Amino acid sequence: MDGDGRMDAVWAPPVRAAMPRGLCTDCGISRSDNPKRCGHACQFIKPDYPLLETLVHGRARDPARIDEQFFGPFRRMVRASLTAPRAGAQWTGIATRIGERLLQTGAVDAVLTMAPDPDDKWRPVPVLVTEAAGMAQCRGMRMGYAPLLALLEPARARGFKRLAVIGIPCQVYALRALERELGFERLYVIGTPCSDNTTTENFHQFLALLADDPDTITYLEFRADYHVELRFADGRVKEIPFLQLPISKLPPDFFPMTCRTCVDYTNVLADITVGYMAGQGEQWLLVRNARGEELLALLGDEVRVSELGSAGKRKGPVSGFLKNVERAAGGLPLRGMPNWLRPLMGWLMPRIGPRGLEFARARVEMKAVETVLHLRRAYPKRLRNMVPAHVWALVKPYGILPRDGETP
Ligand SMILES: Cc1cc2nc3c(=O)[nH]c(=O)nc-3n(C[C@H](O)[C@H](O)[C@H](O)COP(=O)(O)OP(=O)(O)OC[C@H]3O[C@@H](n4cnc5c(N)ncnc54)[C@H](O)[C@@H]3O)c2cc1C
Ligand code: SF4
Ligand code: SF4
């Protein structure tokens, strides 16, 4: 990279300082020419999902299609893997491979996404990738926030007219809210689900609790089989059952309020969502519209797809989670369980707990529960504008109903 952050395949132009905001994940709009646009672009102020779903997908989520209440509008959902998984990818690398194919076929001038900070591999840095070869260094998950959308103006200034963006839901909401003002000829949006993000600094604290040599951890994932997988630089792999994670040693504010209360786990405004929650060990794709089909078609026979499965029942685990969140009163929801029982439950959960689509539904409901309970406690006035109707519908079966003044 040269002085202004310009490199052949990957360009990281400098960005302005952020404007101070309350609930904010620094998606980059406050650093743009017109930071006032946060007012109508922000997921944390007054989101309008039915409107944006209609603008992006041609329709809002359909009440008759039950899974759309959890995951937003989609044409089809599949289990998927690249037949040749890519080194350094978080799963098999579908998200970055789509970016590579868009660049290889000339469908876009650039892909806007995150690369690792050269001084801290866990810190995301927004970049514009202009050649397929540059996508390899963006593979994998970083923890933290970085102002992805601050690079929209540099992209336009450099004459890019067709753009792909790979982003997390709070970034994609602002992107879609502003899409019509941005003036790109073509925009492809590849979304990943996102939950329980935190600052990169906090994440380093967590890593330090998981291993004696945290700097050698190269990979971390919260898998759908109730284990955290860690990989180390020397090739070691460690799997820790969720129940045995050192959560009680984390500070109560480890997860920022934004990430405890955001309302879109599965990136409903993306053209295609690339996640893993319903994939039972593989990836999970939600193809949401015609452009999403176009993106998946770019992979041809490099991708193997199959039907999703579903097993177990979510009601008990979600009700238990709700009790734990209530009991924690703003701290981290620890399971009230004696230590001797934890290994046994850790063994049982992947076998009898919700799996496949039922696991994904459970996680979306848990997140909806957290949204309402945390906002009630910390920002009661925000519920009215911030919580969409579909979130209220998700928590209703658990006895959580809107109180006076909590809905528009
Ligand atoms: C903080 C976080 C939490 C997540 N939680 C879930 C979850 O609960 N359930 C689920 O199904 N999926 C979740 N994901 C998505 C999942 O980790 C994978 O990224 C996704 O399944 C794609 O895998 P892949 O192998 O195709 O990605 P790859 O081909 O490896 O590409 C990953 C892409 O994600 C981008 N990226 C990495 N870190 C960040 C970041 N911090 N902010 C923005 N973009 C980033 C990279 O730049 C790259 O473009 C989460 C992602 C993040 C960043
Ligand atoms: S739009 Fe982005 S920058 Fe603005 S307040 Fe929301 S998250 Fe922060
Ligand atoms: S958890 Fe929600 S608010 Fe936090 S980074 Fe992810 S999408 Fe944004």
Report how far residue 45's alpha carbon sits from residue 23's, in angstroms, rounded to the nearest whole number.
8
Lowest mean per-residue pLDDT among 5-14, 124-133, 288-297? 5-14
Neighbouring C-beta atoms of residue 380, cutoff 10 Å: 12
| pLDDT, averaged across the chain | 94
Q: How far is CA 62 from CA 20, 31, 75, 269, in A?
A: 37, 36, 11, 15
Query: Cα of 17 to ligand 2 centre, how many Å?
Result: 13
According to the model, what pLDDT value does residue 373 have? 96
According to the model, what pLDDT value does residue 243 have? 82
Query: Cα of 27 to ligand 2 centre, how many Å?
Result: 5
**Strands (E) located in 288-383:** 303-306, 310-311, 355-356
The model's pTM is 0.96
The pLDDT of residue 329 is above 50: yes
Percent above pLDDT 90 for the chain: 86
According to the model, what pLDDT value does residue 1 have? 46
Length of the chain counted residue by residue: 408
The answer, yes or no, to whether any atom of ligand 3 lies below 6 A from the CB of 168, is: yes
Report how far residue 240's alpha carbon sits from residue 222's, in angstroms, rounded to the nearest whole number.
9
Contact 138, 19 (CB under 8 A): no
Domains of the chain, residue spans = 6-195+267-308, 198-254, 310-408
According to the model, what pLDDT value does residue 344 have? 65
Contact 374, 257 (CB under 8 A): yes
Query: Cα of 31 to ligand 2 centre, how many Å?
Result: 9
**Strands (E) located in 223-309:** 227-232, 237-241, 272-275, 283-287, 303-306
Closest ligand by atom to 193 CA: 1
Provide the token pair at 285.
């794709």
pLDDT in tens, 213-228: 999 999 999 998 889 9
Closest ligand by atom to 34 CA: 2
Contact 52, 73 (CB under 8 A): no
Backbone φ and ψ of 6, nearest 5°: -95, 130
Helix (H) or strand (E) run with residue 82 in it: strand 76-82
pLDDT in tens, 348-380: 677 778 999 999 999 999 999 999 999 999 999
Please report how the helices 49-57 and 169-182 are oriented relative to each other, as an axis angle in degrees rounded to 10.
60
Q: How far is CA 195 from CA 124, 275, 327, in A?
A: 16, 11, 21
Mean pLDDT, residues 321-328 taken together: 89
Three-state DSSP state, 355:
strand
Report how far residue 236's alpha carbon sits from residue 173's, in angstroms, rounded to the nearest whole number.
38
Closest ligand by atom to 175 CA: 2
Residue 31 CA: nearest ligand 2 atom is 3
**CA angle (260 as vertex; 256, 265 as ends), nearest 5:** 125
The answer, yes or no, to whether any atom of ligand 3 lies below 6 A from the CB of 81, is: no
The pLDDT of residue 3 is above 50: no
Three-state DSSP state, 350:
helix
According to the model, what pLDDT value does residue 252 have? 84
Residue 280 vs residue 335, higher pLDDT: 280
The whole-angstrom distance between residue 259's C-alpha and the CA centroid of its chain comes to 10
Three-state DSSP state, 1:
coil
In this structure, the strands spanning 120-129 and 237-241 are unpaired
**CA angle (96 as vertex; 91, 101 as ends), nearest 5:** 130
The pLDDT of residue 345 is above 80: no
Percent above pLDDT 70 for the chain: 94
The pLDDT of residue 273 is above 80: yes
Residue 28 CA: nearest ligand 2 atom is 3
Query: Cα of 385 to ligand 1 centre, how many Å?
Result: 28
Query: Cα of 406 to ligand 1 centre, how many Å?
Result: 32
Mean pLDDT, residues 16-26 taken together: 94
The residue nearest atom 8 of ligand 3, judged by CA position, is 170
Residue 27 CA: nearest ligand 3 atom is 8
Helix (H) or strand (E) run with residue 101 in it: helix 94-104
pLDDT band, residue 5 (cuts 50/70/90): very low
Query: Cα of 270 to ligand 2 centre, how many Å?
Result: 18
pLDDT in tens, 108-141: 999 999 999 999 999 999 999 999 999 999 999 9
Residue 253 vs residue 47, higher pLDDT: 47
According to the model, what pLDDT value does residue 7 have? 53
Three-state DSSP state, 384:
helix
pLDDT band, residue 235 (cuts 50/70/90): very high
